[in-house]
Structure 1
Amino acid sequence: MSRVDESVQEVNFDGLVGPTHNYAGLAAGNLASQRHGGLTANPKEGALQGLLKMKSLMEAGYAQGVLPPQQRPDLGALRKLGFTGSDERVLASAADQAPQLLRAVCSASSMWTANAATVTPGVDAPEGRVQFTPANLQSSFHRFLEPATTGRVLQAIFHDERHFAHHPALPATPAFSDEGAANHTRLCGAHGEPGVHLFVYGRKAFGGEREPRRYPARQTLEASQAVARQHGLTDAQTVFAQQHPDAIDAGVFHNDVIAVGNGPVLLYHELAFLDEEGTLEALRAKMATPLIPVRVPVEAISLDDAVGSYLFNSQLLSNPDGSMTLVVPGECQENDTVWRVIQDLILAGYNPISEVLVKDVKQSMQNGGGPACLRLRVALSSAEREAIKARALLTPALFEDLTAWVERHYRDRLAPKDLADPQLARESLAALDELTKLLEMGSVYPFQLG
């Protein structure tokens, strides 16, 4: 008989928007990032928008967690690239000689924790422990800087070896390009029941399938297979599907921009998968609970509208009565076509999705990340939740403390030219040092480790 742990809850760990949140236009294939590159950002507003989304979901009864931002600017990375002298000199030299590198080492992209790691719940793992693999994010320099700190953060929060297992990031090479949970969906009945893991890739490292022509495919089949092996997943527990190259070329840089799954429901665009029917058939063959596909045809929403509104980069959350809530960015409500599809096709369709919540995460959206990008899903039993010793599960008191922390430390205006300001670096380190104490997670940042 299959194991069922009724105490398992899905906890969404949202990334805090960092103090150096800016619009640098760093991400190739991310149209929102490229479109807003060079604009002035508001880090304080971005962090508060994220916290308010977390608070509203917590108050609605959903389990909510928090992940801290990265240390930025990453002066250590600049020093490895040949910039020398004091912090002030390193920043000034980078701004003068390689402004693109300065923008990269200041990126607050770790806010999108869907890219932080891939997670397998203990109920699916052969040893009964929750499995974590930080994504190597090797496809872009500004994100390649994240995995080491991400690994330390995850180990600080999920520290108890009786319940949690941590694996190294995959080799940072093109063959094993891994972008984390943004390309991974677990489908199941209840969260405490065994599930099937859908891994979506953009290309095979050694060729053999059609690839996008305009933008790079960031996830390889070989990376997805390696993560599945690390986590002890069997063939019966996994489905590997290729993302549609036309979607990638339209700006769908991760699968979570074109599909979202929760429980037995898979909400997806017609052009999400290269082999749509084959993907659905494979899932149906392996799932113990019948799959509930919710298909949005291209005639209803074009790829351009899907990317512009981030409808599929929404959160899909389970309710106690078996229904589901769809959490969408405000841009979905602003697009008449998308909003009509939500009302007439999704909410009125024969599926468990019965409610839509609209959230303002515009500071994140303008850099190319919606509600689903901002969270890492971790299904945890009651014993596993109790094993978390860091103060990472959101409560009303923690929300108030984090809001006050943002108000103390964040700027409300940050233009690209401000990234060379040494005071910004000092402000960021002071904020992060205080944050690790507030979250009770110990030393996780390079400047704290010496």
Structure 2
Amino acid sequence: MSTIREINFDGIVGPSHNYAGLSLGNLASSRNAGEVSRPRAAALQGLEKMRANIGLGLVQGVFVPQPRPARAWLSELGTTIEEAEHHIAANAMSASSMWAANAATVSPGPDAADGRCHLTVANLKTMPHRSHEWPGTLAQLRLAFASDGFTVHGPVPPAFGDEGAANHMRITPSHGEPGIEVFVYGVSGGPFPARQHIEASKAIARLHRLDPDRTVFAAQSEDAIAAGAFHNDVVAVANGLVLFAHEKAFADRDALVAELAEKVPGFELVEVPDAEVPLKDAIRSYLFNAQLVTPPDGAMTLVAPTECRDTPSVKVWIDRHLASNGAIRRVEFVDVRQSMANGGGPACLRLRVACDPAAVDPRFLVDEAKLDRLADVIAGHWPEEVASGDIRSPSLIADVEQARRALLDVLGLVELA
């Protein structure tokens, strides 16, 4: 019997969480720029989502916030957090590493020629506030996945933008069997940048030693990017043999569906028509930026943000699908409103890694008791509110740095201090 299970590694929302509106093309980020954020509430909401997933019987892991301000990056720019212009300081204080779907691209062992689970850290070169994340992410990946069954790769050279698992899907009968890996790239995004370059996706497929016959490259639709789907996971998500997608997710929907149907016996498309859920509703509610998972009871479950319940067209579609006994058998709504206001739903907050949990550094895995300890640290150390004009405040910076140290102490991850 295979020991491979899917682990969802969630990024813990950092104490510097703020709304600086740094992400061009992310409509929620732009819409809420300048608003007052609530880092403590955001982090606790994230823990409650993890707790709900554990309740479903899923294996849960965490990644920790990166050092903020990003002093090493500021030094490379010849400045400090005290002296930097406001927009540079904002990029140095971003808590965007909480969106672990952008941490790396993951290919499980059954897909790779060498039988090892491969992870390539994303370079995130398109946006300044994310471009300096990869060294910190790589350090965590190399700790968490240090055992012999893993290969952790550095970033694709930055001429080619790579934004990680948010543009990658896997279709497979089970986590322990060989699957078809789908890399989604952008060509044009209308007024917004297309963030995933096809050459980055091809490089990752080669590095991960994937079978070309079981690897698919698909272009994201320009309409989707222009509407605010800055990553594929805003309009499509896969689990098992199911691809759950909006009608306008892909540039050539028919060709992709035909190729997957040919390559994957039992493949099923669950498609949401634009006539029933307009693209703008799908993106505002983050219907597809949900976690599509199969708990031990076998009932495929969509872990969706509460915004889906509150968007009439989306709620009608969900109710109709559940009543039809379709592929998705259950929907669990979770409150991650603080993350959503910055453009990240439940799926943005997690990186899926299919592997043997026993091979992972246990400091990165959590249960109910460990979540309780993390909640105590967050309640005691995370700022309650952060105004965007206060990000260079000496007292806030001191609080942010102390909060991270307290978290690392509880997890025993002193190497990351």
Query: What TM-score results when the alignment is normalised by the length of structure 2?
Result: 0.97
Alignment of 1:35-434 (within 5 A): 35-83=31-79, 90-94=80-84, 98-160=85-147, 162-173=148-159, 176-203=160-187, 211-287=188-264, 289-344=265-320, 346-349=321-324, 351-381=326-356, 385-434=357-406
Separation in 2, partners of 1:377, 1:32: 24
Partner of 1:443: 415
Separation in 1, partners of 2:368, 2:168: 31
Q: Which segment is superposed worse, 346-355 or 31-40?
A: 346-355
User: Secondary structure of the residue that 2:391 maps to in structure 1?
Assistant: helix
Q: Which segment is superposed worse, 28-37 or 409-418?
A: 409-418
After TM superposition, give the deviation of residue 420 of structure 1 in Å: 0.8
Equivalent AA in structure 2 for residue 139 of structure 1: T
Equivalent AA in structure 2 for residue 165 of structure 1: T
Deviations 1:317-368 (A, max 9, x none): 1033432011110111111111001111x32345321111000000000000
User: Secondary structure of the residue that 1:93 maps to in structure 2?
Assistant: coil
After TM superposition, give the deviation of residue 12 of structure 1 in Å: 0.5
Deviations 1:237-257 (A, max 9, x none): 210000000110000100000
Say whether the 8 Å CA contact 1:198–1:241 is kept in structure 2: yes
Say whether the 8 Å CA contact 1:292–1:351 is kept in structure 2: no
Partner of 1:208: none
Equivalent AA in structure 2 for residue 67 of structure 1: F
Unaligned runs of 5+ in 2: none
User: Secondary structure of the residue that 1:37 maps to in structure 2?
Assistant: coil
Alignment of 1:17-36 (within 5 A): 17-36=13-32
Say whether the 8 Å CA contact 2:10–2:100 is kept in structure 1: yes
User: Secondary structure of the residue that 1:417 maps to in structure 2?
Assistant: helix
Separation in 2, partners of 1:125, 1:249: 34
Say whether the 8 Å CA contact 1:324–1:353 is kept in structure 2: yes
Separation in 1, partners of 2:326, 2:123: 36
Percent identity, aligned pairs only, is 46
Separation in 2, partners of 1:408, 1:391: 21
Separation in 2, partners of 1:266, 1:413: 39
Separation in 1, partners of 2:301, 2:28: 26
C-alpha change, 1:258 and 1:47, in structure 2 (3 Å) is same
User: Secondary structure of the residue that 1:10 maps to in structure 2?
Assistant: strand
Q: CA RMSD in A?
A: 1.3
Equivalent AA in structure 2 for residue 134 of structure 1: V
Q: Which segment is superposed worse, 180-189 or 64-73?
A: 64-73
Unaligned runs of 5+ in 1: 84-89, 204-210
Deviations 1:10-46 (A, max 9, x none): 1100000000000000000000000000000000000
After TM superposition, give the deviation of residue 387 of structure 1 in Å: 2.3
Separation in 2, partners of 1:117, 1:77: 20
Separation in 2, partners of 1:91, 1:374: 27
Say whether the 8 Å CA contact 1:91–1:421 is kept in structure 2: no
User: Secondary structure of the residue that 1:150 maps to in structure 2?
Assistant: helix
Deviations 1:384-421 (A, max 9, x none): x1122341111111101100110121011100122111
Partner of 1:206: none
Separation in 1, partners of 2:164, 2:293: 20
Say whether the 8 Å CA contact 1:137–1:144 is kept in structure 2: yes
Equivalent AA in structure 2 for residue 387 of structure 1: A
Count of residue correspondences: 417
Query: What TM-score results when the alignment is normalised by the length of structure 1?
Result: 0.90
Equivalent AA in structure 2 for residue 92 of structure 1: E
Separation in 2, partners of 1:76, 1:189: 44
Separation in 2, partners of 1:322, 1:56: 16
Separation in 2, partners of 1:59, 1:301: 30
